């Protein structure tokens, strides 16, 4: 049996996409929602990962870096896809092995990366 646990987070950030022919060329912001899923077997305590530990890693490696920032200062082309890829890299560099992350840029647009 393989169990997946997910915790959801949110952060606010601004960006602009210089190459875009539509409204995304203009400076604007999003309330991003991030879901981080870890999968595995249950340990002796009956958990895959402590939700608090999961939260600490995401807070330190992603939210403290991204929240209330201008994303173009962090990434040359901050599309949702490339932001998600950067988040994935930050989590794996911190020693986490996410099974899946989902980054919601709006309430009806999201990017998903799976292991």
Q: Which of 24, 28, 30, 35 is catalytic?
A: 24
Intra-chain end-to-end CA distance of the chain, in Å: 18
Instruction: Confirm if 91 and 57 have CB atoms less than 8 A apart.
Output: yes
Residue 105 annotated as catalytic: yes
Contact (CB, 8 A) for 54 and 38: yes
Q: 15 catalytic, yes or no?
A: no
Residue 30 falls in the annotated catalytic set:
no
Among 12, 20, 28, 68, the active-site one is: 68
Which positions are annotated as active-site residues? 24, 68, 105
């Amino acid at each position: 049996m393989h169990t997946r646990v997910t915790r959801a987070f949110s952060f606010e950030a601004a960006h602009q996409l210089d190459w875009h022919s539509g409204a995304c060329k203009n400076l604007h912001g999003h309330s991003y929602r991030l879901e981080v899923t870890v999968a595995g077997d249950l340990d002796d305590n009956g958990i895959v990962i402590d939700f608090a530990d999961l939260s600490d890693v995401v807070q330190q490696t992603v939210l403290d870096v991204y929240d209330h920032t201008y994303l173009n200062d962090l990434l040359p082309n901050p599309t949702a896809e490339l932001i998600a890829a950067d988040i994935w890299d930050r989590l794996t560099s911190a020693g986490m092995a996410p099974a899946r992350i989902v980054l919601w840029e709006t309430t009806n647009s999201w990017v998903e990366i799976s292991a």
